[in-house]
Amino acid sequence: MNEKNNHKKDIVILVVCIVLLFLGCLAFFSARWYITEFGDTGFDSILYTLFSEMSGTDSAVIRNFLLTALLPALAAFVLLTLFFWLRRGNGEKIYPFTKKRARIISLVLSCVMLFSAAVTVDLPGYLYYVSQQSTIYQEEYVDPLQAEITFPEQKRNLIYIFLESMENTYMSQDVGGALDRNTMPELTELVLDEENINFSHTDGIGGFHNMTGASWTIGAMVAHTAGIPLKVPIGVDRNEYGQDSFLPGVNTMTNVLQEAGYYQTLMVGSDANFGGRKPYFEQHGLDRTFDIFTAREAGIVPPGYFVFWGMEDMHLFDFAKQELTKIAAQEEPFAFTMLTVDTHRTNGYVCRKCVGLWGEQYENVISCSSKQVAEFIRWIKQQDFYENTTIIIAGDHVTMDEGYIDRNVAEDYERTVYNCIINSPVETAYEKNRQFVAADMFPTTLAALGCEIEGDRLGLGTNLFSGKPTLVEEMGLEEFDGELTKTSDYYTKNFFFKR
């Protein structure tokens, strides 16, 4: 009986060792893959990726994970398993390990790989912060529907263009970039135009810093439009996050403009459901969403068309022109938001408009995007609705293409996100030498429409047109980010669940 029990015990221990070894290998290679592919975006972004809707993901991302993370993990697991436990036909151990020693070494190795993976994605730092409670929302958050916001008598239209991964880094050093060449000259010219506004962290061309909870696209879109980070409260399951209910307790810019009588649309070239973008906007007052599927229906691309994340930006801009012409013919003021995709990591997508000016594919895609955005702006300026329309061009976050950054950008360069405001009825003396983040774009956008905001703060963001210090300027970026990383019962109770 004892011999039988010992045999069962050996099998259980062996299974545990093998499972832990596999998990260790998978975690080790997956962590390295994630950081290499997406950069240090924060553990919040990893949690969101794990628990959110993944439909519409570029197949290249999945293929890359399979080839550079899962396959090496499986190979390492098989080799290590054979190394520890392979025996000859007569039961003799091939390698000089006793059964006990093989177990101990495999368990230690598993723990080392799991710990290495945790350090790679900064799980210890994340756990340190989430073990603490933040009071930043109770002390600093301003609900936009509770704030006094006064619109001008003639409400202005808004066109908000999110540029995927567009940062100032791609400019030449003489104008504030990190390169010896300017790969985005047209976007540079836009911010150098004295009639336009570029809020900057320097006295020249600059922009805003990444903030915790806004280092990936939907997180950034939430920050830009709600003035808060996107966080995944611990213990919430997938079905409660994103599709069924997306931050139902938060009032956003879409809610504000809805109450002001705006007709609002979102246009993306991919699957709008990816990452919860469509649910987020539609659950907060959006009237209509356009994406790869509606582009097919409208004849912008053929039925079944799908490249990269959906369709190229050249088709997206054609679609935008078509729909803006229709939207502008309506009586209501409109807010049109769009998101480009060609400059998504890794290396971007080369469309037929791209010209090989540079040695790096990513730079050619950036240059192509710069040209297309500038052409789109020229088209808007020729339309009758332009006179009463404010245009905001902003990157969503700094690029996740860490390979490109490692090859081309000095470690001490301060990377910031691009922004340019065109045709604002409001001027400012506080444009330069600012420290700010995506959350500050929320009240700043409304101010650029001519709105007066009592207290000049909405969400956690500050109206940059005013002289009021941002929270980053008051606290410092590190302390501000630390507060956003901490656990907040207030956030979970008041934002994540419907009040």
- Beta pairing, strands 263-268 & 288-290: parallel
Same domain, 72 and 193: no
**Comparison of pLDDT for 431 and 133, the residue scoring more:** 431
> SS3 sequence, 395-411?
ECCCCCCHHHHHHHCCC
Instruction: With respect to residue 142, please indicate whether it lies within any of the assigned structural domains.
Output: no
Residues 224 and 278 reside in one and the same domain: yes
- Residue 94: what pLDDT? 53
Q: Which of 20, 25, 220, 40 is nearest to 125 (CA)?
A: 40
Q: What is the pLDDT of residues 32-47, one digit of tens each?
A: 777 776 666 555 655 5
Amino acid found at 71? L
Residue 216 has pLDDT above 80, yes or no: yes
Mean predicted lDDT score pLDDT of the chain = 87
Last residue of a domain, one of 130, 160, 180: 130
139 lies in some domain: no
**DSSP 8-state symbol, 363:** H
User: Strand, helix or coil at 89?
Assistant: coil
- One domain, residues 491 and 351: yes
Q: Is residue 140 assigned to a domain?
A: no
Residue 316 in contact with residue 269, Cβ under 8 Å? yes
Band the pLDDT of 60: cuts 50, 70, 90: low
In terms of domains, do 161 and 126 share one? no
How many residues belong to the chain?
A: 499
Quote the CA–CA distance of 226 and 141 in Å, as a whole number.
Answer: 11
Q: 164 is in which domain, residue-wise?
A: 147-496
Look at residue 86 and tell me if it is in a domain.
yes
pLDDT of residue 47: 56
Whole-number percent of the chain with pLDDT over 90? 63
Which residues on neighbouring strands pair with residue 268, listed in sequence order?
Answer: 339
User: What's the average model confidence in pLDDT over 400-405?
Assistant: 87
**pLDDT at residue 6 above 80?**
no
Which tokens in the block code for residue 165?
Answer: 């991964």
Mean pLDDT value of segment 212-216: 89
With a pLDDT cut of 70, the percent of the chain lying above it is 84
Given a contact cutoff of 8 angstroms between Cβ atoms, the answer to whether 349 and 306 are in contact is: no
Q: Is residue 407 part of a domain?
A: yes
User: Residue 174 contacts by C-beta under 8 Å, 6 or more apart in sequence?
Assistant: none
Give the CA count within 13 Å in the CB-facing half-sphere of 363: 22
Res 95: pLDDT = 54
Question: Are 153 and 116 in the same domain?
Answer: no
User: What would the mean pLDDT of 350-377 be, rounded to a whole number?
Assistant: 93
Residue 333 is predicted with a pLDDT of 98
The single-letter code of the amino acid at 417 is: V
Co-location of 253 and 289 in the same domain: yes
Task: Look at residue 278 and tell me whether its pLDDT is greater than 80.
Answer: yes
H/E segment holding residue 337: strand 334-339
Residues 20-57: b if buried by 16+ CB within 10 A, e if exposed: bbbbbbbbbbbbbbbbbbbbebbbbbbbbbebbbeebb
Position 141 pLDDT exceeds 60 = yes
Residue 464: closest CA among 428, 489, 498, 417 = 428
At 240 the pLDDT is 41
Query: What's the number of domains the chain is made of?
Result: 2
Q: What is the mean pLDDT of residues 58-85?
A: 74
Give yes or no: residues 183 and 209 share one domain.
yes
Q: Which of these three, 130, 165, 191, is where a domain ends?
A: 130
Would you state the structure tokens that stand for residue 247, as one six-digit string? 């931050």
Category of 36 on φ-ψ map: left (φ > 0), alpha (ψ -120 to 50) or beta: alpha
Residues 152 and 110 in one domain: no
Contact criterion met (CB below 8 Å) for 267 and 319 = yes
Q: What's the Cα-to-Cα distance from 446 to each of 111, 251, 426, 452, rounded to whole Å? A: 51, 14, 11, 8
Contact 352, 371 (CB under 8 A): no
- Within a domain: residue 289? yes
Q: CA 85 to CA 18: how far, in whole Å?
A: 10
More reliable by pLDDT, 235 or 365: 365
Q: What is the rounded CA–CA span in Å between residue 280 and residue 393?
A: 21
Whether 494 and 137 have beta carbons less than 8 Å apart is answered as yes
120 and 38 fall within a common domain:
yes
Q: Which residues pair with 288 in a beta bridge?
A: 265
Residue 175 has pLDDT above 80, yes or no: yes
Q: Say which range, 115-124, 179-188, 193-202, 441-450, has the weakest mean pLDDT.
A: 115-124
Q: Are residues 59 and 103 in the same domain?
A: yes
DSSP assignment of 269-325 equals SB-TTGGGHHHHHHTTT--EEE-HHHHHHTTSS-TT--BTTBS-HHHHHHHHHHHHH
For residue 207, the domain's CATH number is: 3.40.720.10
Residues 114 and 239 in one domain: no
Q: What distance in Å separates the CA atoms of residue 171 and residue 194, rounded to the nearest whole number?
A: 18
> What per-residue confidence (pLDDT) applies to 8?
67
Q: Rounded to whole angstroms, how far apart are CA atoms 316 and 322? A: 10
**The predicted structure's pLDDT at residue 237:** 42
305 has pLDDT over 60: yes
Find where tokens 């290396």 sit.
347
Asked if the model's pLDDT at residue 136 lies above 70, the reply is yes
Last residue of a domain, one of 130, 164, 192: 130
Residue 414 pLDDT > 70: yes
- Rounded mean pLDDT of 452-481? 97
Cα 27 to Cα 76, 147, 319, 464: the distances in Å are 12, 46, 42, 42
Judge if 163 and 123 occupy the same domain. no
CA–CA separation, 412 and 265 (whole Å): 40
Structural domain includes residue 186: yes
Order of strands across the sheet that contains 389-395: 288-290, 263-268, 334-339, 157-163, 389-395, 419-422
Q: How many CB atoms lie within 10 A of CB 498?
A: 10
The reply to whether 138 falls in a domain is: no
